[in-house]
Structure 1
């Protein structure tokens, strides 16, 4: 199989890995679904990460088809509290019937194509829709809308999107619910994007 599985985690000096168990569980689930061996070694591989940093770290873990695991570490600069990301809508479409979209894999061509539609100077994130015109996700984030009800709305997995770790946490805590969303919903709601590395980020369509 010519793909690998990826998990991107944040490590904090005072608390260690953020949402570690959720990341390991997603990796194991995806490895089982796609027939990749070696997911059980991920925890041990992460335990070997140097923990002497005084600043947050971005940890990139990749599980290859032969069961090999690679871990890369880089500095992770926190976003300013008042950060608002600029969003654009991609012409590139996702296929809701593609089961691979639910797993974080090395097959990133669609996301790369969507991101390439706009220069970095114009957009911090690009949102993709499916073949039915339903909102799905960003190239590196899950999408959330606040319509004033107090509970965030996020597209269902059936729309064709990644089972994000932060997304799963918000759903299980009752802070978010799944709902089919369309472009018109963006103008009626506060927009947030997010992932486990960065948390929730305020966003605006530009």
Structure 2
């Protein structure tokens, strides 16, 4: 049986622990996902900080929550050393659109994964979503429990035989992919990623990659860029906390390079002592 952790107590994953009237059903919360390698949470402090920031934006009060402690309960119960971990944070109580409280539930689940380090992933082909756009406001920076926009964009990509889709915001600036932040390398070597005010998720891997690029003397800027700049990029790569770095092989059938993506995988593993 697989164990999960609900508010500090272990349960079987098949247990009924709340009803359909729970705030979970309203998407009234957020998600935090990350890797565990050799019993260690990758970039733990950055995830702790993002959890606190997300709670503040959503007016959630998370009391007596220790990230390492609560994750360890699930890892030990399921006898896992390497895993993908997902934590759902959502408001306590029932009710409708006006919440009864700001107190916060949490649910920790872990998926077995024998991978012991970050590896370069590839996305064969990617293109722009023509149907869906993301609004550039502060809620966009949160990994919301409601993934409807990204689900529909992913379905659009699948229908068009792409492996992923990139979304624009309402200003027609590049925002993000369906589950990842976007970076490009221009032909002159300049690296760009959309700023948080574009509406992109404030990804932990995005933050760590920015740090690593700056520490290694790359010219990296958080700034809005256009579809034309994306089309003319020499390299495009995506980042998220569970997959790490994903190198895009082709954008609109244009073959791309992967030099920076390869180096970043090495830098990430060095950063976590692997």
Shared fold per TM-score greater than 0.5: yes
For this structure pair, what is the TM-score category when the shorter chain's length is used for normalisation?
Answer: 0.7 to 0.9
Task: Work out whether residues 123 and 163 of structure 2, in 8 Å CA contact, stay in contact via their aligned partners in 1.
Answer: no
Structure 2 partner of 1:53: 80
TM-score, normalized by length of structure 2?
0.67
Task: Work out whether residues 83 and 201 of structure 1, in 8 Å CA contact, stay in contact via their aligned partners in 2.
Answer: yes
Q: How does 1:89-128 map to 2 (within 5 A)?
A: 89-91=128-130, 92-96=132-136, 98-119=137-158, 122-128=161-167
1:19-59, Cα deviation, whole Å (9 max, x unpaired): 111111101111012111216515131232325435x3110
Task: Work out whether residues 120 and 245 of structure 2, in 8 Å CA contact, stay in contact via their aligned partners in 1.
Answer: no
Question: Which piece of structure 1 moves more, 154-163 or 78-87?
Answer: 78-87
Q: Which has the higher Rg, Structure 1 or Structure 2?
A: 2
Alignment equivalent of 2:47, drawn from 11, 23, 39: 23
Unaligned runs of 5+ in 2: 1-22, 93-103, 253-274
Q: In 2, distance between residues paired with 1:122 and 1:107? A: 25
Structure 2 partner of 1:64: 90
Structure 1 partner of 2:228: 184
Alignment equivalent of 1:34, drawn from 58, 62, 65: 58
Q: In 2, distance between residues paired with 1:16 and 1:101? A: 29
Unaligned runs of 5+ in 1: none
Q: In 2, distance between residues paired with 1:31 and 1:82? A: 31
Aligned residues: 203
Q: In 1, distance between residues paired with 2:202 and 2:120? A: 26
1:140 Cα deviation after fit: 0.5
Structure 1 partner of 2:184: 145
Q: In 2, distance between residues paired with 1:46 and 1:82? A: 26
1:77 Cα deviation after fit: 6.4
Q: In 1, distance between residues paired with 2:66 and 2:30? A: 11
Task: Work out whether residues 158 and 164 of structure 2, in 8 Å CA contact, stay in contact via their aligned partners in 1.
Answer: no
RMSD: 2.3
TM-score, normalized by length of structure 1?
0.87
